[in-house]
Amino acid sequence: MASVTYKNVVKKFGDQTIIKNLNIAVEDKEFLVLVGPSGCGKTTALRLLAGLEEITDGEIVIGDRVVNDVAPKERDIAMVFQSYALYPHLSVYDNMAFGLKLRKTPKDEIKRRVNEAAEVLGITDLLQRKPRQLSGGQRQRVAVGRAIVREPKVFLFDEPLSNLDAKLRVQMRAEISKLHQRLQTTFIYVTHDQTEAMTMATRIAVINKGNLQQLDTPQNLYDHPNNLFVAGFIGSPAMNFFPAKLAKNGEKMLVDAGDFKVQIPDSHSAPYKNMDGRSVIFGIRPENIHDPEFAPQNINGEKVPAKVDVTELMGNETLVYLVSGKNTFVGRVDPRSKLRINDSTQVVFDMDKFHIFDAGSEEAIR
């Protein structure tokens, strides 16, 4: 078991900087997820840790050892890739045992490790099959098993579920989370899917354009995003944003979005008292926008006039796409809602759950 630390890590390809001064401390036995859009540098950060890419500047530490110049095979890590990369002519057993045989591990030890890993992953009855006889989920389990038998200090996962269908991804998310609990080893997991990140991680590192945007628990990222990028990336559907100005009305503070105005509750207004006229971006999540007929009674609700553009009935909820003047936004409302296309209504914003960002820096104002 080991901690992992990125210390001022920089990675350049020619003149292009892919990773910019990355600082992350991953605790022993933690499940850290690196998340961000395609091309943000998250996979490069993982490959630097694995030793598959050379660091331009900074240090990577595994446990108490700086590994910048340590060969990949000496770093005591195991990596699971997006592609299963199984040998088609070998059985499941031999695929899982292959790395141990190269290290001249005794046969009895190989058998023990492979059988234990197969039992953990529920693939004991597949050990004599060839990869072509397996489903996608089974092949991914074999790839994970091949990593488990190494008994490494750190597991690295590079978008391992991307090739699976939606139902199987949900199932494998749960399997990997259970595996982490059982093995009690450090997991570092790369994905562009924020749902995977939210459901699996102990902490999440949100990366954009090579910069670490925020490192926090899933709930804190969701409730208290540091900036506009994190707020928009975490959550599905994404947070709604409105260009606006803060305005003082006597002792009350308002958010003036042009086509509508909403009052900030007194209990939340203190940070904004001296910001009259300041240009901001007002944010509110779809689940905090309610059909007036089904709005909770115990919230600080503000009514906003809107016209229904599109509705999507999801069974347990309805997504309502709305237009208010030049602003378009989406609400996640009660499935009993009777709102239909072209209806005019006054949706309710829950003003206990809003976000305000500076229009220039895009940093959260709290």
What would the pLDDT profile of 92-137 be if each residue is shown by its tens digit? Answer: 999 999 989 988 999 999 999 999 889 888 899 999 999 999 988 8
**Nearest CA to 117 among 131, 136, 98?**
98
From the number of C-beta atoms within 10 Å of its C-beta (0-12, 13-18, 19+), residue 363 rates as exposed
Q: Which CATH number fits domain 240-358: 2.40.50.140, 3.40.50.2000, 3.30.465.10, 3.30.43.10?
A: 2.40.50.140
- Please return the burial class of 103, using the count of CB atoms within 10 Å of its CB with bins 0-12, 13-18 and 19+: exposed
CA–CA separation, 245 and 260 (whole Å)? 11
Average pLDDT of the residues in 307-328: 95
Could you tell me the pLDDT band of residue 1, with boundaries at 50, 70 and 90?
Answer: low
User: Strand 327-333 relative to strand 16-26: parallel, antiparallel, unpaired?
Assistant: unpaired
> pLDDT: is 218 or 81 the higher one?
218
pLDDT of 196 strictly over 70: yes
Burial of 200 (0-12, 13-18, 19+ CB in 10 A): buried
Instruction: Tell the CATH topology of 4-233.
Output: Rossmann fold (3.40.50)
Every domain of the chain with CATH number 2.40.50.140 lies at 240-358
User: What stretches of the chain adopt beta strand conformation (E)?
Assistant: 4-13, 16-26, 31-35, 57-62, 65-66, 77-80, 154-158, 186-191, 203-208, 211-216, 240-249, 252-256, 261-264, 279-284, 289-290, 301-313, 318-324, 327-333, 344-350, 354-358
The answer to whether residue 20 scores a pLDDT higher than 80 is yes
Domain with CATH 3.40.50.300 in the chain: 4-233
Confidence bin at 175 (pLDDT 50/70/90): confident
- pLDDT band of residue 251 (cuts 50, 70, 90) is confident
CB 190 within 8 A of CB 158: yes
pLDDT (tens digit per residue) in 33-48: 999 999 999 999 999 9
Determine the Cα–Cα distance for residues 194 and 201; give it in Å rounded to an integer: 10
Tokens representing residue 71 in the block: 């060969």
Angle of helix 166-183 relative to helix 136-148, nearest 10 degrees? Answer: 20
pLDDT band at 366 (very low <50, low <70, confident <90, very high): confident
